[in-house]
Structure 1
């Protein structure tokens, strides 16, 4: 779940060059915004969609698809209809019939998230290719992207775009800025690795990624950015398939010999390993969760970033390192105010749990898929639920009691010879929503 649009507060913070989370979580809804959301047929979640509508819809749909749920057509149509004529997506468009203009600023992260979701769902090739073309057209000269076109490169934005390019069948390593000089072509990986702290950093910070350099060009470790970058450096998007076995511990940067520049010169795989090693160390230090870095949030856990770290570690095949954080989430996620009904939060947990080989249908006693589905319109098909129904073990299976009762009543009515047609209505099976 690694990659972005958490809340109105974090959105504003990103403009001020602080990290916005890879898996965005919606802000509390203002009354007028909640009313607007309620009128968005097909939109997941009832919170204010102004800052995260496209993001949360994309994460929710991608998570459903990853675990065998076919979203309803209107949910997919809602996302596709948000696209602007130039291929970009904004954070949210209340009036999709109006042309995108000055009041609808293109959002790189929302566009990249939509590409990942629509690519996975299929049947949206034109929309995907149009969005990819737009993303390439706004690539910064250093090979990266910022939150909006023209804004400075940040690790989270680069990461989610790398995931989008890979999902669309593109090779991120071949994406170079159209305006870059031929002898100075920079790829997304160049931009991303340029934000990693190398051997010149303090030992506990090596391998971490910064969101952006500060005004003096210095890099500071950012757990959110590191989780996103450790995933993207492997060329992965948010949908990660579980690896076989638990794998080995992630490899930290080797800094023997005084190579103070090591890190910036690492390969993408080495950079991903170093980022994963940093995450594993921070998780272990903090009782298997990442702490919140938001102002006023001292000693509070960051559930989103912890889920993103699970996803990044699982993508690297580091199951043992991911398991501890996943177990912590299973025990503590219910304390999270986003856990009950936020589609991006639930979608992120589904993606992380699936990648780590956990049970998305029994996450600390909660069926994450059922809870995610409940935030929007009933899905067209739930493969796991259908399979459970065939075995007679589904959540909604009444053990055949309804059928037995129906047959018994029919037989009794016929035997009585009352000559009156008996109208029996079988109970519809609940869809878990």
Structure 2
């Protein structure tokens, strides 16, 4: 959901309002140069941790157990102080002062590792680092000490939620993350959206990317929230907005933004008429959280018809976004416009381990096969005995499913 939107040029696929250049994202790296366990075949310099985390989160959401080496790769990207960079080509080399650690990579890694479990030490260290770089207004910027923005604050809220903390209780100078988000909320007269950040003059401008992030973040949820109950979405002004009201107002803005075409358009200069698939997927999640599955149907249906080629070109993060959007809005990720998104995601890296449910199913099938062999063996014995033929029977085991 919420913060995989346009990534900063330095970091990930969809995080802070400036999309990673298409040429960069689409340039494949030689497979021999890619780390074992990493999902995707493109250069991971700007989005390695981001796309890996999303892949693990989506697999977990689909009740799959990610491959051990995929989890190990992500955990191995962590610096000694708990922070993450977008990608470390040589994890054996300690992070130094030049390491470009950031809140978005760290927060999404927390959610990825928390989803798969068994990584409590790494998760705790990362959350401790995130708390140490909280701004005085209660929020977070992309880089430590940078001005707070809606996307970064929202993805960190998701990390706190995944760790089990109440974001409202995580404060700096008395300010919580929700205080930072509310400062970026626009009134209904301006659509009820969220701004990414104030501009140099302190002015707030509506930003659909930031709004999709903040709608979910303001509710204290993580990167893969469940859809909510069906309800009308409307913008309501109040003297003192609550985070819940600001979230509903943001959803109202998003609903209007996709009402005509069913999708958002790219905010990149020179690409006004280009659909923004990733942020549209985030809109689906935001609308489903606030208004239930029915509120997200128009952009969901647009994605079902149009997003397959984008996901194929973009790789694991795109497949993960679509999986989370489909699931939040009540669609089947294994049959999304005729595409099995889960299968496609799994093909981007090491195959997930067998789940408990799959193991149980395999055991049941094996028992059925065994029972079938036993029944027909007994029938054969009876038939032979009935005609008085004293053959020595040799049982043949049928082919069994592993």
Task: Classify the TM-score, shorter chain.
Answer: 0.7 to 0.9
1:37/1:46 contact within 8 Å kept: no
* Equivalences for residues 118-197 of structure 1 within 5 A: 118-177=113-172, 180=173, 185-197=174-186
Residue 275 (structure 1) aligned with residue 241 (structure 2): no
> What is the Cα deviation at residue 335 of structure 1?
3.8
Residue 353 (structure 1) aligned with residue 353 (structure 2): no
Q: 2:237 aligns with which of 254, 257, 265?
A: 254
Q: 1:228 to 1:301 in 2, by over 3 A?
A: same
2:11/2:105 contact within 8 Å kept: no
> What is the Cα deviation at residue 76 of structure 1?
0.3
Counterpart of 1:218 in structure 2 is 203
Matches of 2:180 and 2:351, distance apart in 1:
41
2:6/2:14 contact within 8 Å kept: no
Q: Deviations over 1:98-139 (max 9, x none)?
A: 110133211100000011111111111111111000000001
**Residue aligned with 2:335, SS:** coil
Counterpart of 2:387 in structure 1 is none
Q: 1:383 to 1:316 in 2, by over 3 A?
A: farther
**Residue aligned with 1:70, SS:** coil
> What is the Cα deviation at residue 334 of structure 1?
2.1
Counterpart of 2:343 in structure 1 is 370
Matches of 1:359 and 1:45, distance apart in 2:
23
> What is the Cα deviation at residue 274 of structure 1?
0.4
> What is the Cα deviation at residue 315 of structure 1?
1.7
Counterpart of 1:306 in structure 2 is 280
Matches of 1:40 and 1:427, distance apart in 2:
36
> What is the Cα deviation at residue 288 of structure 1?
1.4
1:288/1:325 contact within 8 Å kept: yes
Counterpart of 2:380 in structure 1 is none
Q: 1:391 to 1:27 in 2, by over 3 A?
A: farther
Residue 4 (structure 1) aligned with residue 1 (structure 2): no
> What is the Cα deviation at residue 2 of structure 1?
1.4
Counterpart of 1:76 in structure 2 is 71
1:89/1:106 contact within 8 Å kept: yes
> What is the Cα deviation at residue 67 of structure 1?
0.9
Query: Would you say how many aligned residue pairs link Structure 1 and Structure 2?
Result: 381
> What is the Cα deviation at residue 296 of structure 1?
1.1
Counterpart of 1:44 in structure 2 is 39
Q: 2:56 aligns with which of 61, 65, 69?
A: 61
2:8/2:17 contact within 8 Å kept: no
Matches of 1:313 and 1:37, distance apart in 2:
41
**Residue aligned with 2:305, SS:** helix
1:341/1:372 contact within 8 Å kept: no
**Residue aligned with 2:127, SS:** helix
The structure having more radius of gyration, on CA atoms, is 2
Counterpart of 1:395 in structure 2 is none
Counterpart of 2:299 in structure 1 is 325
Q: 1:13 to 1:360 in 2, by over 3 A?
A: closer
> What is the Cα deviation at residue 4 of structure 1?
3.1
> What is the Cα deviation at residue 308 of structure 1?
0.2
* Two-structure CA RMSD over aligned residues (Å): 3.3
Gaps of 5+ in 2: 377-396
Matches of 1:68 and 1:186, distance apart in 2:
37
Q: 1:8 to 1:146 in 2, by over 3 A?
A: closer
Matches of 2:136 and 2:86, distance apart in 1:
24
2:83/2:102 contact within 8 Å kept: yes
Matches of 1:316 and 1:190, distance apart in 2:
20
TM-score by length of 2: 0.85
> What is the Cα deviation at residue 27 of structure 1?
3.6
1:24/1:56 contact within 8 Å kept: no
Q: 1:334 to 1:69 in 2, by over 3 A?
A: same
1:5/1:11 contact within 8 Å kept: no
1:231/1:315 contact within 8 Å kept: yes
Gaps of 5+ in 1: 256-261, 393-399, 408-423
Matches of 1:361 and 1:390, distance apart in 2:
23
